[in-house]
Chains A and B, each alone.
Chain A
């Protein structure tokens, strides 16, 4: 465990770093660039930065137009606004036409904890997953965020990048390699598989250590890509451990847990427990209070793992 940094800052810095390598990269924000940190790119490349004001649908549609002229637009705002307020243009223009537009949804999950339910994106993954042609990336730490930004710019086609507001650490030993569609095996184990996407990763790693104390060998699979799903790795670990727990800051309907349920029921029926928001909205509180309330911290992950292998 090294230094921590807000994921949004890692994102803003990485975009700025890549400005030279990707001359057609332009960044669009909707009056939240000081929050999402795309302002950093705007400071370095003012002519390639466009603040659309509080008008997400217009921003995303303009990005569609830009992409047909060779630009690589990264559109950025809060995840709930991006995926829902601008949901129709994302569907009708970007996904349908497979346009090379990147959709960076910030402040996702419960990471905008104090602002409450109005600002917490808990169904963004389900919505984006349902769109044909869409790739869905959910980084967890500094390395995967940096890797995901580079990978999405290299990828030709629409990508949804889900970002957290809050501090993240470093769990990949400095390795920023990011292969779209590939799960990371962060810990091997034979008794239960803990499958996670996003910033809850440290809780999952901690839970695996706790379980070890009780003689339970938990594997930790990280899915930085939710779509396309790495079915091969998932099925291999489902077969090996016979039980899977999915953990995400998202409704259990249609996100990582939903994707895993779909895959396993068709490819390798396996006992599964989905941890996440159970068809409910969030609320205001501290981040740790909310994670406890919605059953997403270490204690709850340990309990879920023990229960499923019982």
Chain B
């Protein structure tokens, strides 16, 4: 298998882990976890400089999951990379678990910032990138945002500050799945020409298919080679890989029944072939 095929397969395997976790937990956010599967796989398997056995290594690249409800996807990839024992994945959302409903930095290695309240991740990334600049370190900072999340004004405050300080080491990724809790973004609060808006804040804007591993790899390289902060709009499908979840706002955070679980896993396993 080629590197691309291996990564594509890993992303699909991640989806199976995600659905297993959320089904076991009885609650959790399937749609937005499934949409970011390739993005996280490419970042953790290829792009980022990290040491899973030394999670606090000073020169590591930082990743902030601004869309904290996508925690199952992040937990799945961290376990796969060996940040913690994957047995813990069965404890998602349980009392005393290190896998809180939303990521918690002091309960789980590999989480760079506790998130859950939306719209703060880019700001946090700006702070981390400024610290790297001040300390003259070469590490990079990656922030993954949802597109609905961009309705929070703080994101735009953060982007003007990223531009002010010319943060070469900051890459913002938008998981552009077009769907939020109450409906489609168009229905809830249309963002208009989102790419044009983003580009006027962060001129280094790149777009790609967020489920195409090769496109993601190429786009991350272009973003990292550009001067100043960059933003990648990764076009995705909410609930990707499970046909009855795809594009459905109802699957933002719905419980998966036994029957639905069986169907979902069957479809995802077929996707591995």
B135-177 contacts to A, CB under 8 A, are 135, 154, 157-158, 160-161, 165
Please tell me if the beta carbons of B128 and A96 are within 8 angstroms of each other in the complex.
no
**A47 within 8 A of partner (CB):** yes
Distance between Cα atoms of A48 and B130 in the complex (Å): 10
Residues of A within 8 A of B161 (CB): 52-53, 55, 58, 62
Q: Is the CB of A57 within 8 A of B113?
A: no
CB-defined contacts of B117 to chain A, threshold 8 Å: 88-89, 91-92
C-alpha spacing A70/B157, complex, angstroms: 24
B residues less than 8 Å from A53 (CB atoms): 157, 160-161
- Cβ–Cβ contact A70 & B131, under 8 A: yes
Q: How far is the CB of A72 from chain B (nearest CB, A)?
A: 11
Write out the residue numbers on chain B whose beta carbons fall within 8 Å of the beta carbon of A244: none
Chain A neighbourhood of B1, CB < 8 A = none
Report which residue of A65, A68, A88 has the largest number of chain B beta carbons within 10 angstroms of its beta carbon: A65
Q: Smallest CB–CB gap between B115 and chain A, Å?
A: 8
List B contacts of A92 (CB < 8 A): 114-117, 120
Query: Given the interface contacts A53-B160, A66-B130, A69-B128, does A58 sit within 8 Å of B113 by beta carbon?
Result: no
Mask: chain A, 97-108; 1 = CB below 8 Å from B; 0 = not:
110000000000
CA–CA, A91 to B131, complex, Å?
Answer: 22
Q: In the complex the two chains form, is B106's CB within 8 Å of A64's CB?
A: no
How far, in whole Å, are A258 and B255 apart by their CA atoms in the complex? 43
| Contacting residues, chain A, for B123 (C-beta < 8 A) | 57-58, 61-62, 64-65, 89
**Cβ < 8 Å to B, chain A residues 59-95:** 61-71, 73, 88-89, 91-93
Contact A64/B113 with A53-B161, A58-B126 known, Cβ cut-off 8 Å = yes
Complex Cα gap A64–B161 (Å): 15
State whether B128 touches A98 (Cβ < 8 A). Answer: no
Q: Cα distance A35–B147 when bound, in Å?
A: 37
Is there contact, CB below 8 Å, between A61 and B131? no
Cα distance A220–B28 in the bound complex, in angstroms? 54
Residues of chain B contacted by A88 (CB below 8 angstroms): 117, 120
Is B130 in contact with A55, judged by CB distance below 8 angstroms? no
Q: How many residues of B contact A (CB 8 A)?
A: 28
Tell me, yes or no, whether B95 is within 8 Å of chain A by CB.
Answer: no
Chain B residues lying within 8 Å of A57, measured Cβ to Cβ, are 120, 123, 154, 157
Cβ contact within 8 Å between A70 and B135: yes
Q: Taking each of B114, B130, B132, which has the highest tally of chain A beta carbons within 10 Å of its own beta carbon?
A: B130
Complex Cα gap A65–B125 (Å)? 6
**Chain B residues positioned under 8 Å from A96 (CB to CB):** 114
Known: A61-B120, A93-B113. A66 touches B157 (CB 8 A): no
Give CA–CA (A47, B113) in the complex, Å.
25
B124, A97: Cβ atoms closer than 8 Å: no
B272 within 8 A of A: no
Q: Are A93 and B128 in contact (CB under 8 A)?
A: no
Supposing A55-B161, A57-B120, A58-B157 touch, asked if A66 and B127 sit within 8 A by C-beta, the answer is: yes
The answer to whether B134 touches A64, judged by C-beta atoms less than 8 angstroms apart, is no
Given A47-B134, A52-B161, answer yes or no on A62-B113 (Cβ-Cβ < 8 Å): no
A69 touching B124 by the CB < 8 A rule? no
**At the interface, yes or no: A50 with Cβ under 8 Å from chain B?**
yes
Report whether B120 and A68 are in contact in the complex, using a CB–CB cutoff of 8 Å. Answer: no
Which of B116, B120, B129, B158 has the most A CB atoms < 10 Å from its CB?
Answer: B120
Q: How close is B140's CB to chain A, nearest CB, in angstroms? A: 13
**B135 contacts across to A, CB distance below 8 A:** 69-70
Contacts of A93 in B (CB 8 A): 113-114, 120, 124
Q: Smallest CB–CB gap between B211 and chain A, Å?
A: 29
- A26 beta carbon closer than 8 Å to chain B: yes
| A50–B130 alpha-carbon span in the complex (Å) | 10
Pair A69/B132 contact, Cβ less than 8 Å: yes
CB distance from B50 to the nearest CB of A (A): 15
**B158–A65 CB distance below 8 A:** no
State the Cβ distance, B63 to closest chain A Cβ, in Å.
12
Given A55-B157, A63-B127, check contact A68 B112 (CB 8 Å).
Answer: yes
**How far is the CB of B234 from the nearest CB of chain A, in Å?**
22
| CB-CB nearest in chain A for B126 | A62
Choose among B116, B126, B134, B154 the residue that contacts A65 (Cβ–Cβ < 8 A).
B126
Inter-subunit contact A71/B154 (CB<8 Å): no
- Closest residue on chain B to residue A26 by CB atoms: B134
Q: Answer whether residue B6 sits at the interface, using C-beta atoms and an 8 A cutoff.
A: no
Residues of A close to B130: CB separation below 8 A: 50, 62, 65-66
| Central interface residue in A52, A55, A62, A89, by most chain B CB within 10 Å | A62
Rank and list the top 3 A-B pairs by shortest CB-CB distance, nearest first: A65-B127, A61-B123, A69-B131
26 contacts between A and B (CB under 8 A): A52-B157, A55-B157, A55-B160, A55-B161, A57-B120, A57-B123, A57-B157, A58-B126, A58-B161, A61-B127, A62-B158, A62-B161, A64-B113, A65-B123, A68-B105, A68-B112, A69-B132, A70-B131, A71-B134, A88-B120, A89-B117, A89-B123, A92-B115, A93-B114, A96-B114, A97-B106
Given A58-B158, A92-B114, 16 extra CB contacts under 8 A: A50-B165, A53-B157, A55-B154, A57-B123, A61-B120, A61-B127, A62-B124, A62-B126, A65-B64, A65-B123, A65-B128, A66-B130, A89-B117, A89-B154, A96-B114, A97-B105
